[in-house]
Amino acid sequence: MLTDAALKHLKPKEKAYKVTDRDGMYVRVGTNGTISFRLDYRLHRRRETVTFGKYGPSGLSLASAREKCIDAKRMVQEGLSPSIEKQRDKRRIKEALEGAQRLPIDADAGLS
């Protein structure tokens, strides 16, 4: 089982490698030292992988990644693909932001 101390001591190697945690989650350490939380799962006889995010101060904590892992496993039990749902969520956010940028700004609004 991983700890924050163990994550901080992971070093890059010539090839990317995996270090397992619990509940099927693992971290992938890239050749540049990037540590990403991931989960491999099977859905409809296909092997899929979802990446939860990168470890670090501007990324995910170990506890947050474990929570995301539990949520993803629930989705798989419900027959949903966590990686596809993640892509859909990103697309929805992008479309909402683009829609908000297209709204006209009324210069006189709120001024009385």
44-58: pLDDT as tens digits: 899 999 999 999 989
For residue 107, pLDDT over 90 is answered with: no
Residue in 57, 82, 85, 58 with CA at minimum distance from that of residue 70: 82
Enumerate the H helices of 1-112 as residue ranges.
4-8, 62-77, 82-102
- pLDDT computed for residue 103 by the predictor: 65
> Do β-strands 46-54 and 35-43 pair in parallel, antiparallel, or remain unpaired?
antiparallel
The CATH number of domain 4-102 is 3.30.160.390: yes
Which strands make up the sheet holding 35-43, listed edge to edge?
17-20, 25-29, 35-43, 46-54
| pLDDT score recorded for residue 13 | 97
Q: How confident is the model at residue 99 (pLDDT cuts 50, 70, 90)?
A: confident
Tokens of 89: 């969520």
pLDDT tens profile 16-43: 999 999 999 999 999 999 999 999 999 9
**Structure-model confidence comparison of residues 1 and 19, the more confident one:** 19
